[in-house]
Chains A and B, each alone.
Chain A
Amino acid sequence: MGRKLLLDKAHIEGIRYYDVYRKNGGYAAAEKALKSMTTDQVLDEVKKSGLRGRGGAGFPTGLKWSFIAKPEGVPRYLVCNADESEPGTFKDRYLMEFLPHLLIEGLLISSYTLGANATYIYIRGEYAWIPDILEEAIAEAKKAGWLGKNIQGTGFDLEIYVQRGGGAYICGEETALIESLEGKRGNPRLKPPFPAVKGLWQSPTVVNNVETLAAVVPIINIGGEEYAKIGVGKSTGTKLISACGNINKPGVYEIDMTISVEEFIYSEEYCGGIPNGKRLKACIPGGSSVPILPANLLLTTAKGEKRLMNYESLNDGGFATGTMMGSGGFIVLDEDQCVVRHTLSLARFYHHESCGQCSPCREGTGWMKRVLSNLENGKGKMSDIDLLWDIQRKIEGNTICPLGDAAAWPVAAAIRHFRDEFEWHVNNPEEAVKRNFGLAHYADPLPVPQPVA
């Protein structure tokens, strides 16, 4: 049983409410930080913890905070990115729904550290009932003196506001989120300037994911060094994984990043295996944007080592044979799933969500969707597979924001690892609309690499 830092109290009845949360050790970290630590000391603890952004990019949080510009007389803002929209990811929703005070406490400590007196939680518009929960918790916290003016007599002021989005995946990108928060279309900005210098209303701004900000609470409670001891290497602390797809127990799990992928999928503690006795075909372990891997490469790296659930191990082999931790949206596909069809569904998603600002993404995502649709529906040509490869290559790296990359990678990885399945669709168009390619060789053991002499 791995150590839990975020969800350790999630099972407690009524933990959503202030009294219960407080009774169970809530706001102790905020008290410690605000009353006994300087902002530099808090920043130092976060740096020591090795915490990396939990939204997908995995950028060190302490480092990000240290970039914030501090010009005289200009307000600074903290924005909480709760625009959770990456297919496969639903962990932040869980945190906000069940542990709103954990997030508020994290926001309080983080705002204190950054010197922000107004903090916005930008939540995706579809989570329409969650703002009520958050606002209720904010009101409770305010009543108890944890928000508002002169918090707990420390002289620090903070207001937290909840802002609903309007339905756009792109607003999960930090500069698009800022634009949206300013009441504009969610078109990502060109960087530089970075938000840390010119963000919300042209003021220095830090945008962090919900889970990242919540993780600040245990870091202050146990100390950065202690936090860094959990996990391995640069994957410190715990990570929430939202597991879905063909598994027995979909849901949100907190892992300490030392367990293997195999254990995560098959153990009763986590996903509980694959339903109906089916076999594992493929998996997208970090939200739809990260490369899909066939079963054999998922469980074992190309070096023949057991793959673990952490940043480094998932990334082992780079894009050729590895994948990414991403946002922790763990999508499992069993032998009955068609990779072409699944890739089409993701291509349709990115096409729908492209903001349309820059040409490669605006035009390329629709093109990929249409070519994939032909392949899936038995109208594809062999040359379409190479065409797809070429389109994704011309999108990747050439767009304003990472949505272009996010749209390109799933297509690239699907062709890289499942080319046989694509070709089968072309060669057997009639059969392909009636049945799936099946597991084929995707779970076959990989050749054992020769030891380097």
Chain B
Amino acid sequence: MADEKKLFKVTIDNISVEVEPGTTILNAARQIGGDIVPPAMCYYSKLQGSGGKCRTCLVKVSKGSEADPRPMPKLVASCRTTVMDGMEVANITSPEVIEARKGVVEFLLLNHPLDCPVCDQAGECHLQDLSYEHGVSATRYEFKRRTFDKIDLGEHIQLHMTRCILCYRCVFTADQLTEKREHGILGRGEHAEISTYIKESLDNDFIGNVIDVCPVGALTDKTFRFKNRVWFLKPVDAHRNCENPKCCGKTTLWMRGEEVFRVTARKDEYGEVEAFICDVCRFEKKEAKDWVVEGPRKISRTSVISQGHYVGTVKPQETIQKVLDGRQPKLLMDIHSVSQVNQPNVDLSKIDGPAHSDDFNKKGVQ
């Protein structure tokens, strides 16, 4: 087996894996999978040149390689650092990394509007996930947050610059998927923004992919805007014979009943699309009859999108009794007997208009 490629052994958080030379630490970690995969807000494996900017994927290289075991002096961006044979990396086992990541999350949230309640990205937002995992509950920033005027990018794409974390993914997308990039990063430093400078709509067969690659709610689908919450929709895999030769025609439809609310590319567990789709598939094929449905899209159970989508699951009945040595659980306090509002005989949905304390009085209920 002389022509067999030599693989590099890399150990991440004490778990070893053998990978091809040229693999980045992040991708090696993804091969291992699980908790030790560093989060990535700007890196996108399908976009060349992406990564290195957000700094959420920083890790500690405690041993450079077998040949040169010196540790790297600074934390490195795992998405852009390639592995060496014998490299040892600490991600979640390094307090230094955890601390730095906390800092990065705080920086990313510093000027983020946190308008999740009105943001279409909520439920599938990487910044939301990241803050949940690594953020703190309160901000230490006492100043006015940076805001930008809304920019119109045409009938399909909504740009909310205020939410942007400047990952540059949409710029790479336009560079690599469309014929001519018409938007870019303008300004410098804190004032840098995604814009077209002179307002014009973005139109190109593949520009809709900027919505899929956007890790936050900065670029959203106008045809889906405020229509529904992603967790109320049922994602199904579907395909159609797309006329565009560059489009794979394989998508995920986000449905409620027979209604198609939006079409996206199929995304993997890291939120990356499996293959890019064209704008016709995304924006114009909004009827179930346009598509051949393959079946439900597998969504991580822990995702809010899975909420209420598990059917036929069996609730374990015996567990509690089993751990309590066969005893029945003892009710410490019957909430209904002490609560003014939490009444089992009051169906909240039956109350017209806003609920009033009278609605919960025994008198008020018939």
Q: Residue B239 at the A interface, CB < 8 A?
A: no
Q: Residue A153 at the B interface, CB < 8 A?
A: no
A10 to B323, CA, bound (A): 90
Q: Residue A362 at the B interface, CB < 8 A?
A: yes
Partner of A354, one of B99, B100, B140, B190: B190
Chain A, interface SS category: helix
A395 to B111, CA, bound (A): 16
Interface residue ranges of B162-194 to A (CB < 8 Å): 165-166, 185, 187-192
Q: Residue A56 at the B interface, CB < 8 A?
A: no
Tell me which residues across on chain B come within 8 A of A400, comparing CB atoms: 52-53, 55, 77
Residue contact A190 to B80, C-beta cutoff 8 Å: yes
Give the A-B pair count, Cβ closer than 8 A. 87
Interface residue ranges of A356-383 to B (CB < 8 Å): 356-360, 362-367, 370
> Contact string, B256-281, partner A, CB cutoff 8 A, digits 1/0?
00000000000000000000000000
Residue contact A359 to B104, C-beta cutoff 8 Å: yes
Residue contact A357 to B166, C-beta cutoff 8 Å: yes
A351-B190, A387-B140 known; A363-B75 Cβ under 8 A = no
A363-B108, A364-B107 known; A356-B189 Cβ under 8 A = yes
Partner of A190, one of B77, B103, B141: B77
Tell me which residues across on chain A come within 8 A of B52, comparing CB atoms: 190, 358, 400
Q: Residue A306 at the B interface, CB < 8 A?
A: no
Tell me which residues across on chain B come within 8 A of A397, comparing CB atoms: 74-75, 100
Q: Residue A213 at the B interface, CB < 8 A?
A: no
Tell me which residues across on chain B come within 8 A of A365, comparing CB atoms: 189-190
Which A residue sits closest to B187, measured CB to CB? A356
Residue contact A357 to B53, C-beta cutoff 8 Å: yes
> Contact string, B196-234, partner A, CB cutoff 8 A, digits 1/0?
000000000000000000000000000000000000000
Looking at the assembled complex, report how far the CB atom of A399 sits from the nearest CB atom of chain B, in whole angstroms: 7
Looking at the assembled complex, report how far the CB atom of A302 sits from the nearest CB atom of chain B, in whole angstroms: 24
Q: Residue B310 at the A interface, CB < 8 A?
A: no
Residue contact A362 to B100, C-beta cutoff 8 Å: no
A398 to B58, CA, bound (A): 8
Interface residue ranges of B282-313 to A (CB < 8 Å): none
A354-B188, A356-B192, A398-B55 known; A363-B140 Cβ under 8 A = no
Which A residue sits closest to B79, measured CB to CB? A190
Residue contact A359 to B54, C-beta cutoff 8 Å: yes
Q: Residue B106 at the A interface, CB < 8 A?
A: yes
A168-B188, A351-B190 known; A362-B106 Cβ under 8 A = no
Residue contact A367 to B185, C-beta cutoff 8 Å: no
Looking at the assembled complex, report how far the CB atom of B62 sits from the nearest CB atom of chain A, in whole angstroms: 15
Looking at the assembled complex, report how far the CB atom of B124 sits from the nearest CB atom of chain A, in whole angstroms: 21
Looking at the assembled complex, report how far the CB atom of B166 sits from the nearest CB atom of chain A, in whole angstroms: 7
Which A residue sits closest to B56, measured CB to CB? A359
Kindly state the interface size class of chain B when it binds its partner.
20 to 34
Looking at the assembled complex, report how far the CB atom of A76 sits from the nearest CB atom of chain B, in whole angstroms: 24
Q: Residue B36 at the A interface, CB < 8 A?
A: no
Q: Residue A257 at the B interface, CB < 8 A?
A: no
Residue contact A394 to B107, C-beta cutoff 8 Å: yes
Partner of A358, one of B54, B75, B110: B54
Residue contact A359 to B108, C-beta cutoff 8 Å: yes
Residue contact B189 to A358, C-beta cutoff 8 Å: no
Q: Residue A48 at the B interface, CB < 8 A?
A: no
Which B residue sits closest to A358, measured CB to CB? B53
Partner of B189, one of A352, A367, A370, A393: A352
Residue contact B166 to A356, C-beta cutoff 8 Å: yes
Residue contact B111 to A363, C-beta cutoff 8 Å: yes
A93 to B224, CA, bound (A): 57
Residue contact B166 to A360, C-beta cutoff 8 Å: no
A95 to B127, CA, bound (A): 49
Tell me which residues across on chain A come within 8 A of B185, comparing CB atoms: 185, 356
Which B residue sits closest to A373, measured CB to CB? B143
> Contact string, A392-418, partner B, CB cutoff 8 A, digits 1/0?
011101111000000000000000000
Residue contact A359 to B190, C-beta cutoff 8 Å: no
A121 to B131, CA, bound (A): 45
Tell me which residues across on chain A come within 8 A of B111, comparing CB atoms: 363
Residue contact A394 to B192, C-beta cutoff 8 Å: no
Q: Residue A355 at the B interface, CB < 8 A?
A: yes
A230 to B190, CA, bound (A): 45
Residue contact A360 to B107, C-beta cutoff 8 Å: yes
Which B residue sits closest to A356, measured CB to CB? B192
Q: Residue A31 at the B interface, CB < 8 A?
A: no
Partner of B166, one of A352, A353, A362: A362
Residue contact A359 to B100, C-beta cutoff 8 Å: no
Which A residue sits closest to B110, measured CB to CB? A363
Partner of A370, one of B75, B143, B165: B143
Interface residue ranges of A63-94 to B (CB < 8 Å): none
Residue contact B104 to A354, C-beta cutoff 8 Å: no
Looking at the assembled complex, report how far the CB atom of A253 sits from the nearest CB atom of chain B, in whole angstroms: 33
Looking at the assembled complex, report how far the CB atom of A390 sits from the nearest CB atom of chain B, in whole angstroms: 8
Tell me which residues across on chain B come within 8 A of A367, comparing CB atoms: 110, 141, 143
| Chain A to chain B contacts (Cβ below 8 Å), 21 pairs | A185-B185, A190-B51, A190-B77, A190-B80, A353-B189, A354-B188, A354-B190, A357-B53, A357-B192, A358-B52, A359-B54, A359-B107, A362-B189, A364-B107, A366-B190, A367-B110, A367-B143, A394-B99, A394-B104, A394-B107, A398-B58
- Contacts A358-B54, A359-B107 supplied; 20 other A-B pairs, CB < 8 Å: A351-B189, A353-B189, A354-B190, A356-B187, A358-B52, A359-B53, A359-B104, A359-B108, A359-B165, A362-B190, A363-B111, A364-B107, A365-B189, A367-B141, A370-B143, A394-B107, A397-B74, A398-B55, A398-B103, A400-B55
| Interfacial residues, chain A to chain B (CB-CB below 8 A) | 168, 185, 190, 351-360, 362-367, 370, 387, 393-395, 397-400
